[in-house]
Amino acid sequence: MLLNRVFQDPSTGKRYRVVLEHLSDLMLIDVDSDKAWPFPISEEEFRSVGYDSISDPYPIPSVEDDSIGAKRRDEAWATISPLLEHYQSLLVKNERNRLIKELLKSTDKPRLYITRQLRRYWQRGMAPNALAPDYHKCGAKGRPRREVEQKVGPKRSVTPGVGVPVTEEVSELFQMALDGFYLTNEKVPLVAAKDKAVGLFKARYPSATEKSMPTMRQFRYFYETNYRKSDVVRTRTPSRIYQKDKRALTSTSGNLNFGPGARYEIDATIADLYLVAEDDPALIIGRPVLYFVKDVFSRMVVGMYVGLENPSWVAAMVALSNAFSDKTTYCRGYGINISTEDWPSFGLPASIMADRGELLYKQADVLVNRFNIQLSNSRAYRGDDKAICERFFNTIQSKFRPYVGGVVEPVNGKKRAGKRYELDAELNLSDFTQMLINLVIIYNTQHVVEGYDFAPDMPTDLPAVPREIWNWGIQNRTGQLRFCEEDLARINLLPYEIGTVSQVGINFKGLVYTCQEALAQGWFDRIRQNRPSKVDIAFDPRRTDSVYLRPDSKFENYWVCELSDRSRRYKGMSFVEAAGILKEMNRTKATAKQEEDYQKPDALSAVEEIVATAKKRQETSKPSATDTERLRGIRQNRAMEKDTERNRSGIKSNKQSTRDRPADVVPFRSNKTQSSESIDYPDLDEFLGDDDD
């Protein structure tokens, strides 16, 4: 098949198009000559010359509808289409002239126009679009015109002067202002960059007047024709913000999550609402902390925490234990009665995505080691890594903002009639928690997720409601999640550290604890034994009253340890408060010890002086008795010295008794029965004396 193909003569380099192929005869036309007409050649001669097949030098152009090019094409096609009805006759010179002569009688186009369009039709590919003019070659699109002496574009009609042309020097100044000032600072507007360029222009051309300065229109045209907007935004925007907020999104969060529990996302925020105290509504207690745990596949809220604990592992632990357990008891505690079908999410997930905060440190190892949950942390400043949970904060808070007081306003509340929005607070923590539970249940059971990306195997009658998607995924994808009791999950999620064991109890963070299991095993008996020296202690940082000892590495084994009487001072405190008191006590002890060390030499000096005086007195009075006599007389000497001490230390009074007679003594015993027992204080001399003899 040779029709409409282009060949090149190897000897002359001329290019020919085959405009007719009939049996063994061909008709060719020179595609580069403006006076060419088709000429005949046999196929045998064609092959003997050895024409080389080449790519078409005139590919058929695409023409936009209703454009000038389309009008010119349609006009030319309407002119020559009657001739093409006699296609083979057109290839013969005499017949072609006759047909053109007849056509001139019915058209107002000149002969030259007809012959040019007919030649163009054959040379450019024998299609209607081959008649379109080469408007794509007109002008100098993409090539700046810098070698000019006068300003191009429309002339000024209001501003005086004729302006300045954008030459190579001026374009260089524009580029310096854009690259060095506009692109390096996202806060700089384009107008400021233009002013910078004008300043550079005045510095280079001091003689320039205000009538010959570059205009904003010229500067903007240069910017728009030489800088692509996407490149400008990427250059001006910090990398982490661009990646988070402006980069292209090529996939979805649910694409790689097979079913319910495949991945949970957890995040915290401070609610846009001020609360009051439960006991005294006049007391404003500030803004609560919200933790939400969401399933990526179904978009269901599987766990939550509402409280006053700052975002930390402790608050995250409560939210996760809530996500792992049945919610009926939790809701009942706030007066909301639901069934398991209303909030069916319970069990352990396969993985959890969290930010680089409370789940980044060693406390989170329990999720991996004890629950066999894969833990992954989002990148720094990349909230889009867990966008499902991040977006939900605004969704849930937008539901209660119009109805409650104390909502944080975007502008300073003092501008509103001189009143601060904190003073409008009316809900306490229990009210707020109850309200959020109701909103979460409505979201899980009724909210239609906009733009949910259904997988190919999901039925078309499945609504994009979190609970419905969860139930479908449990039945058709993952099955029931691994079950875990709430108390067991919470204890195993507690942070843990090393404690020591001694005969006084279990020592942990400076406090002493006891437990019945350790007492039963004799850990605290004051004997030599092989008690463990170190143990793992799980603790709730919010309370010192009890901790949990892990006797082994089994998931379900733990001992409850209560605060010992030795540490009763710290009962009801948090570990932070107890640590503060311990630190203050140690500081007081160190101060007293320092004072003791300072005064001790003075006391020792007094002791040494007394001993020296006694020794000197002893040396001056040599005893005349022998050593045996001195040792034998200890009892008598003690009795004499005791009488002397009694006389010296006895109570002496100068007042005389005014009683005329002694008081009557009423004996407890009957006079008939005389007691032989003495009521005098016992004398211990005989016991002490026996020891001395």
Q: Give the number of other Cβ atoms within 10 Å of residue 141's Cβ.
A: 8
**Model confidence pLDDT, tens digit, residues 330-339:** 899 889 999 9
Which tokens belong to 518?
């350790």
624 contacts: CB under 8 Å, gap ≥ 6: none
Q: Is the pLDDT of residue 415 over 60?
A: no
266 φ, ψ (degrees, to nearest 5): -130, 140
Residue 425 near residue 405, CB atoms below 8 Å: yes
pLDDT of residue 34: 92
Question: Where do the domains of the chain lie?
Answer: 6-137, 168-236, 264-486, 494-578
pLDDT at 200 over 90: yes
**Alpha carbons 37 and 96: distance in angstroms, whole number:** 11
What is the β-pairing status of strands 6-8 and 559-563?
unpaired
User: At 571, which helix (H) or strand (E)?
Assistant: none
pLDDT tens, 215-241? 999 999 999 988 999 888 888 888 877
pLDDT at 126: 92
| Residue pair 572/540 in contact by the 8 Å Cβ criterion | no
Interatomic CA distance for residues 170 and 468, integer angstroms: 65
Contacts of 321-330 spanning 24+ positions with Cβ under 8 A: 321/486, 321/489, 321/490, 321/493, 322/293, 322/486, 323/264, 323/266, 323/293, 323/349, 324/348, 324/484, 324/486, 324/489, 325/484, 325/485, 325/486, 325/489, 326/486, 329/486
Structure-token match 């999550």, residue found: 257
- Whole-number pLDDT of residue 507: 94
Residue 135, both tokens: 């408007």
Helix (H, G, I), strand (E, B) or coil at 529: coil
Provide the pLDDT for residue 665: 67
pLDDT bin (cut points 50, 70, 90) of residue 57 is very high
Question: Among 124-128, 415-419, 514-518, 587-591, which is the least confidently predicted range?
Answer: 415-419
pLDDT classification of 312: cutoffs 50, 70, 90: confident
Asked whether 17 and 26 are in contact (CB, 8 A), the reply is no
| 514 pLDDT more than 90 | yes
Give me the chain's average pLDDT, please.
85
Instruction: With beta carbons less than 8 A apart as the criterion, state whether 326 and 340 touch.
Output: yes
In this prediction, residues 44-51 reach a mean pLDDT of 90
pLDDT score, position 692? 46
- Cross-sheet strand order for the sheet of 374-377: 301-307, 289-295, 264-270, 351-354, 374-377
Q: Scan for tokens 């100068």, then name that residue.
A: 654
pLDDT of residue 216: 92
Among left, alpha and beta (phi > 0; psi -120 to 50; other), residue 335 is: left
Q: What is the pLDDT of residue 373?
A: 87
Q: What average pLDDT does the segment 385-391 reach? A: 75
Pair 323, 345: CB distance under 8 Å = yes
Q: How far is CA 66 from the centre of its chain?
A: 52
Structure tokens at 104: 């001139």
- pLDDT given at position 173: 93
pLDDT in tens, 469-493: 999 999 998 888 888 777 777 788 8
What is the model's pLDDT at position 143?
Answer: 67
Q: What does the buried/exposed string (b/e) look like for 643-677 if buried means 16 or more CB atoms within 10 Å of the residue's CB?
A: eeeeeeeeeeeeeeeeeeeeeeeeeeeeeeeeeee
Q: How many CB atoms lie within 10 A of CB 159?
A: 10
How far, in Å, CA of 561 to CA of 566, rounded? Answer: 14
Instruction: Tell me how far apart the alpha carbons of residues 555 and 561 are, in angstroms, rounded to a whole number.
Output: 17
Q: Which residues pair with 39 in a beta bridge?
A: 28
Residue 413 has pLDDT above 50, yes or no: no
pLDDT category of residue 419 using cuts at 50, 70 and 90: low
pLDDT at residue 655, rounded to an integer: 61
* Predicted confidence (pLDDT) at residue 264 exceeds the cutoff of 60: yes
Amino acid identity, position 497? E
Is the pLDDT assigned to residue 94 strictly greater than 90? yes
Q: Decide: 340 and 328 in contact? Cβ < 8 Å.
A: yes
Cα 505 from chain centroid (whole Å): 42
- Report the candidate in 476, 533, 576, 471 with the shortest Cα–Cα distance to residue 258: 476
**Measured CA distances, 35 to 30, 32, 118, 457 (Å):** 9, 9, 11, 65
Highest mean pLDDT: which range of 86-95, 482-491, 522-531, 649-658? 86-95
| Confidence bin at 364 (pLDDT 50/70/90) | confident
Give φ, ψ of 326 to 5 degrees: -70, 140
Q: Residue 467: name the closest of 337, 339, 334, 317 by CA.
A: 339
Q: Provide φ and ψ at 285, rounded to 5°.
A: -105, 5
Strand, helix or coil for residue 306? strand
Which residues are CB-contacts of 690 (< 8 A; sequence separation ≥ 6)?
Answer: none
Give the neighbor-by-neighbor strand order of the sheet with 39-42. 39-42, 25-30, 15-22, 6-8, 52-54
What are the DSSP E strand ranges found in 311-464?
Answer: 351-354, 374-377
Contact 39, 25 (CB under 8 A): no
**Per-residue pLDDT at 245:** 75
Please state, in angstroms and rounded to a whole number, the distance separating the CA atoms of residues 551 and 519.
Answer: 14
Residue 108 vs residue 243, higher pLDDT: 108
Quick one: which of 271, 276, 272 has its CA closest to 431? 276
pLDDT of residue 195: 93
657 or 625: which leads in pLDDT: 625
Question: What mean pLDDT comes out for the span 90-118?
Answer: 93
Bridge partners of 15, per DSSP, are: 8
Q: Which of 466, 129, 461 is nearest to 296 (CA)?
A: 466
Residue with tokens 């000032």: 181
pLDDT band at 440 (very low <50, low <70, confident <90, very high): very high
The enclosing H or E element of 562 equals strand 559-563
Which H or E element spans position 206? none
Q: Kindly report the three-state secondary structure assignment for every residue of 421-457.
A: HHHHCCCEHHHHHHHHHHHHHHHHHHCCCCCCCCCCC
- pTM comes to 0.62
| pLDDT score at 614 | 87
- Percentage above 70 pLDDT, the chain: 89
pLDDT exceeds cutoff 60 at 679: no
pLDDT band at 574 (very low <50, low <70, confident <90, very high): confident
Least confident of 240-249, 333-342, 369-378: 240-249
**Between the CA of residue 335 and those of 328, 357, 431, what are the distances in Å?**
10, 33, 11
pLDDT at 653 (0 to 100): 64
Q: What is the separation, in whole angstroms, between the first and last Cα of the chain?
A: 145
The two beta strands, 351-354 and 264-270, are parallel
**What are 157-173's pLDDT values in tens digits?**
788 877 888 888 899 99
Distance between CA 138 and CA 534 in Å, rounded? 88
Specify the length of the chain in residues: 693
Residue pair 330/343 in contact by the 8 Å Cβ criterion: no
Mean pLDDT of 242-263: 77
pLDDT of residue 377 exceeding 60, the answer is yes
* pLDDT value, residue 311: 86
- Determine the Cα angle at 683 with ends 680 and 688, to 5°: 170
Q: H helices of 621-633, where?
A: 627-632
pLDDT at 684: 53
Query: Distance between CA 337 and CA 331 in Å, rounded?
Result: 6
- β-strands 351-354, 374-377 pairing: parallel
- Of 148-162, 252-266, 532-546, 658-672, the range with the highest mean pLDDT is 532-546
Domain 264-486 CATH (choose: 3.40.50.1820, 3.40.605.10, 3.30.420.10, 3.30.1280.10): 3.30.420.10
Chain Cα centroid distance, residue 509: 32
Please report which confidence band the pLDDT of residue 693 belongs to, taking 50, 70 and 90 as the band edges.
very low
User: Residue 681: pLDDT above 90?
Assistant: no
The confidence score (pLDDT) of residue 120 equals: 94
Does the pLDDT value for residue 247 go beyond 80? Answer: no
| pLDDT on residue 629 | 78
